[in-house]
Amino acid sequence: MVPTMGALHQGHASLFKIAHEHADVVVATIFVNPLQFNNSADFEKYPLQMDYDVQLLEEHGVHFLYAPTVDTMYDSGFSTSVSIDGITDLLEGASRPGHFSGVATVVTKLFFGRPTRCRCIWSKRFPAVRCHSTISRRSRHADSTHHGANYSRERWLGDV
């Protein structure tokens, strides 16, 4: 699984390539996580370009797209978050309170809320790609609704 916030670029494309090297099925997520923004205006201004992103995913052979809504990720009963002591005072954490907690919370929800076999993560601050394989059942279900646009599952099942 390659988690993203959309607005995909060649850095993401390199992650899709690495994911293909480690897994038979590649899943991408697109979720603009409000918990990562300490300024709601920045969240509202974040670029959304789903049609372009879907095209890029298809060009790079991504099998599934999971693009949940904010309500899907953080429903009315949501009450759990993940915090990371120490790092939150360094780097972006010093100027963006809550950023790392938001990242840790959504990554935990994405990785452990859905079965996956390979997880690839890249960070601007720590530019090392880490791929982790886990044993879990293969899921052929992917929600793929984003801001009212429906992308059918059949589009992403392909040759899986």
How many Cβ atoms sit within 10 Å of the Cβ of residue 96? 16
Radius of gyration, CA atoms only, the chain: 15
**113 forms bridges with which residues in the sheet?**
none
Q: Are 122 and 129 in contact, with CB atoms under 8 Å apart?
A: yes
Q: Bridge-partner residues for 4, per DSSP?
A: 30
b/e sequence 22-51, b meaning 16+ C-beta within 10 Å: ebebbbbbbbbbbbbbeeeeeeeeeeeebe
Of 12, 63, 99, 146, the catalytic one is 12
Is 99 marked active-site?
A: no
Residue 124 CA: distances (Å) to CA of 92, 113, 127: 11, 25, 6
Residues classed as catalytic: 12
